[in-house]
């Protein structure tokens, strides 16, 4: 996240907007809206997550435009809500950053793609992989979906952002490696720790909040 108005070319902006709309349509189809309207607890998780992310994304660091560093938090939201609702909750949080002036409205699709959609899809993919492997120990869910999933999600989002900036000629590959890519492992560690810790806490105290968790699969 952190795309400013002058970072993407017109063609990049158009491609990003098209990808954004296509993924948004799939996210809308993935949500059971009737069940969502009837589930007060899920609604509270949805709006609470959006507000929490909105405040969290106010805290960031970075020197060069477009290369901001901050905690994403999308993995735990994806595990709580499912990837479809996680996308909408993350976009609502992104609206808050636009309202507060932290992000430009023109780059909403680009920032939404990098900050919200890519991490949610990667986290969802890791969760499906863990489910397909049919692990019988609940630590597999915590480690793979929580810690590892969050680390891989933030790395994927960072690489997509670098690809956009490199393909647009904003930065050379050497600059991106020196200022961002070589530090990715350092970004992955806190992202994995924060998300994994929250997933662990929810699994212990409020497992019903994790809609992607099926406790029947794991041995006690």
What are the chain's domains? Answer: 10-217 (1.10.1760.20)
For 63, counting Cβ atoms within 10 Å of its Cβ (0-12 exposed, 13-18 middle, 19+ buried), the class is exposed
Crossing angle of the two packed helices 83-99 and 74-81, in degrees rounded to 10: 130
Q: How high is the pLDDT of residue 217?
A: 81
Rg (CA), the chain: 17
**Mean pLDDT of each 10-residue bin along the chain, 220 residues long:** 68 91 97 95 95 88 66 94 97 93 87 95 96 89 95 94 87 87 89 94 91 81
Q: How high is the pLDDT of residue 71?
A: 83
Q: How high is the pLDDT of residue 66?
A: 62
Residue 74 CA to its chain's centroid (Å): 3
DSSP output for 70-111: ----HHHHHHHH-HHHHHHHHHHHHHHHHHTTSS-GGGHHHH
Q: How high is the pLDDT of residue 187?
A: 87
Query: What gap in Å lies between CA 62 and CA 187, rounded to an integer?
Result: 12
- Which residues have C-beta within 8 Å of that of residue 44, sequence separation ≥ 6? none
How many CB atoms within 10 Å of residue 81? 25
Question: Phi/psi of residue 22, each to 5°?
Answer: -60, -45
For 105, counting Cβ atoms within 10 Å of its Cβ (0-12 exposed, 13-18 middle, 19+ buried), the class is exposed
């Amino acid at each position: 996240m952190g795309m400013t108005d002058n970072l993407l070319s017109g063609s990049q902006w158009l491609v990003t907007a098209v990808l954004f709309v296509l993924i948004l349509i799939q996210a809308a189809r993935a949500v059971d809206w009737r069940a969502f309207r009837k589930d007060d607890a899920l609604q509270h998780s949805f709006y609470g997550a959006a507000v929490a992310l909105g405040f969290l994304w106010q805290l960031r660091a970075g020197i060069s435009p477009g290369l901001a560093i901050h905690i994403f938090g999308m993995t735990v939201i994806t595990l709580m809500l499912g990837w479809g609702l996680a996308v909408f909750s993350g976009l609502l949080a992104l609206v808050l950053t636009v309202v507060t002036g932290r992000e430009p409205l023109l780059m909403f699709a680009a920032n939404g793609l990098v900050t919200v959609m890519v991490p949610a899809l990667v986290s969802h993919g890791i969760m499906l992989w863990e489910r397909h492997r049919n692990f019988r120990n609940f630590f597999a869910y915590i480690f793979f979906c929580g810690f590892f999933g969050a680390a891989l999600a933030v790395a994927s989002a960072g690489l997509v952002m670098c690809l956009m900036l490199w393909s647009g000629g904003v930065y050379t590959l050497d600059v991106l490696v020196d200022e961002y890519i070589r530090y990715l492992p350092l970004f992955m560690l806190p992202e994995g720790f924060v998300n994994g810790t929250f997933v662990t806490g929810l699994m212990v105290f409020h497992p019903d909040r994790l809609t992607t968790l099926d406790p029947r699969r794991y041995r006690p």
